Structure 1
Amino acid sequence: MRLGVLDVGSNTVHLLVVDAHRGAAPLPAYSHKIELRLAEHLDPRGLIEPAGADGLVEFVAEAAELAEDKGCESVYAFATSAIREAPNGEEVLERVRAETGVRLVVLTGTDEARLTFLAVRRWFGWSSGRLAVFDIGGGSLEIAAGSDESPTVAVSVPLGAGRLTRESFSTSQPDKDEIKALRKRIRIEMAAVAGDVLRAGRPQRSVATSKTFRSLARVCGAAPSADGPYVPRTLARADLIEWLPKLIEMTAEERADLPGVSPGRSHQLIAGALVADAVMDLFDIPELEVCPWALREGVILARLDQL
């Protein structure tokens, strides 16, 4: 069957169409996305501004038509932290439903962590043993660990690369004091949940997903996406530590010229790198394996299981 997944994230709104049936890997058939940066369309009270809501409605309507054109039997549409945390999120959801006919389901942070873990488990298989999975999004960091398809522990921490950049840096080239303050904030918030994750047992495989981790891995020498999803990719902490001072010294334009870094996300790369460094340091992980499957694939797999 052909299914569609519409992912409304803090940075990107993405329609993914896949050919899938239970027991088989979903095969991407079509992809369409824009960098709406919904989390940047917030007023001082945290409300989603009209421009952000307008852009979301426009894209969702376009995505619904595209999904129909591509022959999707159904489309599962969901939203994450940008909608979840906005005081007027319900109003925006109702406007989307009224004007497009699409009902967006708001995932909790725990849902995100659990579904991403499912995708990683299916990708690497049972031989991976106990997994620890880390996903840096625009608004939050999801962490999950366990030995089964459902994680033993699944947590969400407000340490997304976009959120930290907006809240901590005054320019695209932060000064030393801003870097120091953000580094301290990241480690304090992450340490508050590290104990729960570590008590689940030491992982036999530590895995990273998300665009931020993929970009950092590419900058540090991992194979390009053009080589396909089956090429092993890793992010070593030693390489990240070597690159971090260089990233801090670069302008956003210079970071955008690095392999694997898009212009729309280059301003978030420093915050993302600080989170990635803290993950590997606090959880004593010298190297993370990069998984091409993440939340969207987890949503598809869970949907197939229900069907």
Structure 2
Amino acid sequence: MRIGVLDVGSNTAQLVVADIGDGVPLPVHATKEAVRLAEVIGRDGALCREAIDRLVKAVAAAVAQARRWEVRELYAYATAVVRDAPNRDAALAEIEARTGVRLGTLSGTEEAELTFLAVRRWMGWRAGPLLLLDIGGGSAEIAYGHDLAPSFAVSLPVGAARITRERLRGDPPRSAKVDKVRRYLRRELGEVASRMHWDAPRSAVATSRTFQQLAQLCGAPPLRRGPFVPRVLRRDELARQVGRLSALTAAKRARLPGISAPRARQSLAGALVAHTMLDMFGLDEVTICPWALREGILLRRVESADSWSGRALSLTAPAETA
């Protein structure tokens, strides 16, 4: 059977289509639609008219693609930028009325658990005790464990777009603001760092487009080389790049290796969050994993079909919520 997962974040709405057969989801198509919600949402995180219109357009385009690829079940979710919006319920109702799709909203802990599942499957059991780091637009997820499910998972409101919007205004921001953000991040991550109980040997793995772009900025192979090329992000090189990013405007950051124009403005915040994570967890480097939330949802669907089948939109008939 062919299934699809639509993941709506602060920058893009990404659809992955996969065939599921003998317990393994095989991706056959992927597409994304720019939404760039960070450009238009209010300082309080509310979804304005422009933001809702962008979401409607992206969801409608994803459904059309899913139908074209003969998807039977579509799992559609929005992450922190929608989940945390003060007008979330009204926005989701309007999107549903205009597209026929009721976007689900995963909790931050669910995001962390599903992403951990994807990373564990990608890395395999030889990775041993596994630490996951994930930086999104609205939140960052941290999870740790020995099994398929983490023994510890948390979501913190320190996503790259949120930090930029709330704490790093200015292009480039003043150095005093950057220092203030560093202190804020250390406070936010301090409790998590103190609760972590590490085993040895262990594997530290990072996922998300933020980490992928930072890794390329720091010298890792570009994404066009494919998902099987090993990539790492080293703390010492990231520290140098934080200083570089903090001195540049968004337009100049977009000319750097790995930094895309839509994410250039939030790239400094992403680098600050990433470096603080590595520093506080005592990590010299992290391995970059290409699988993340979407793949975790696909795997959960394959491995726990009974508990997930009711959360899908059926595309065997005209669009209607399940």
> So what's the TM-score if we normalise by structure 1?
0.95
The gaps in structure 2 that reach 5 residues or longer are: 306-322
Q: Post-superposition shift, 1:255?
A: 1.3
Which secondary structure state, in structure 2, belongs to the residue aligned with residue 303 of structure 1? helix
Q: Post-superposition shift, 1:247?
A: 1.5
- 1:270-289 matches, within 5 Å, as 270-289=268-287
* Percent identity (aligned): 47
The gaps in structure 1 that reach 5 residues or longer are: none
Shift in CA distance, 46/222, structure 1 to aligned 2, threshold 3 Å: closer
Structure 1 distance, partners of 2:95, 2:201, is 41
* One-letter identity of the residue aligned with 1:5: V
Contact 2:8 2:77 in 1 (8 A): yes
1:133 aligns to what? 132
Matched, 1:3 2:3: yes
Contact 2:10 2:37 in 1 (8 A): yes
RMSD across aligned C-alpha pairs, in angstroms? 1.4
* One-letter identity of the residue aligned with 1:244: V
* One-letter identity of the residue aligned with 1:16: V
1:246 aligns to what? 244
* One-letter identity of the residue aligned with 1:154: A
Contact 2:43 2:166 in 1 (8 A): no
- 1:82-161 matches, within 5 Å, as 82-161=81-160
The count of corresponding residues between Structure 1 and Structure 2 is 305
Contact 1:5 1:16 in 2 (8 A): yes
Q: Post-superposition shift, 1:202?
A: 5.4
Which secondary structure state, in structure 1, belongs to the residue aligned with residue 15 of structure 2? strand
Q: Deviations over 1:85-110 (max 9, x none)?
A: 11211111111222211121110000
Q: Post-superposition shift, 1:116?
A: 0.4
Structure 1 distance, partners of 2:70, 2:156, is 37
* One-letter identity of the residue aligned with 2:98: E
* One-letter identity of the residue aligned with 1:207: V
1:300 aligns to what? 298
> So what's the TM-score if we normalise by structure 2?
0.91
Q: Deviations over 1:69-91 (max 9, x none)?
A: 11111110001111111121111
- 1:1-307 matches, within 5 Å, as 1-24=1-24, 26-196=25-195, 198-199=196-197, 201=199, 204-307=202-305
Structure 1 distance, partners of 2:38, 2:264, is 16
Structure 2 distance, partners of 1:212, 1:62, is 24
Shift in CA distance, 37/261, structure 1 to aligned 2, threshold 3 Å: same
Q: Post-superposition shift, 1:126?
A: 0.9
Which secondary structure state, in structure 2, belongs to the residue aligned with residue 221 of structure 1? coil
Contact 1:132 1:203 in 2 (8 A): no
Contact 2:34 2:58 in 1 (8 A): no
Contact 2:167 2:177 in 1 (8 A): yes
Q: Deviations over 1:30-83 (max 9, x none)?
A: 222123122443235432101111111122112111100111111100011111
- More deviation in 43-52 or 230-239? 43-52
- More deviation in 286-295 or 39-48? 39-48
Structure 2 distance, partners of 1:44, 1:246, is 27
* One-letter identity of the residue aligned with 2:202: Q
RCO comparison, higher one (Cα < 8 Å, 6+): 2
Structure 2 distance, partners of 1:202, 1:41, is 45
